[in-house]
Amino acid sequence: MVYKIAATKPNPIVEIEVWRQSDKTFTVELSWSSGYVLVNKEPKLPESYNPTLGIDVNLAFDPFDGSLHDAYAKYSFSENIAQGEQELMLKMYEDSMHEGLTSLGWKQVEAQCWFYGELEVTPES
């Protein structure tokens, strides 16, 4: 059975992607106002779940799909990435996201998706 995990009110959802190419690091932080993820088995929130601290749903539940809305993006680059390379990376990421960075030889090494606030878990048909 498929289950949907969603915030009950508009709450920030934060995706963090870390990309590497040799000794260079590029981090993308996307803050979403709302959304949900879908998982293949019934998710059990830990009793220690704190709505203020949130939970990394990628790590805790291994979602296979979802929908996130109204993003604000923040990018950070290691100091050894030249300005021209940064501009090319941003253009490639904004134009074709993961495929663009991969085509430039970058590898995604981390992907987190943090949900905050009260969460609602519902079965999907």
So where are the chain's domains?
2-124
pLDDT tens for residues 1-50? 999 999 887 778 999 999 999 999 999 999 999 999 999 999 999 999 99
Amino acid at 92: M
Q: Which two tokens stand for residue 88?
A: 């090319």
Contacts of 101 (CB under 8 A, 6+ apart): 19, 26, 89, 92, 93, 108
Backbone φ/ψ region at 117: left (φ over 0), alpha (ψ -120 to 50), beta: left
Cα separations in angstroms, 106 against 42, 69, 101, 102, 113: 34, 26, 5, 5, 20
| pTM, two decimal places | 0.87
pLDDT tens for residues 66-119? 999 998 999 999 999 999 999 999 999 989 888 999 999 999 999 999 999 999
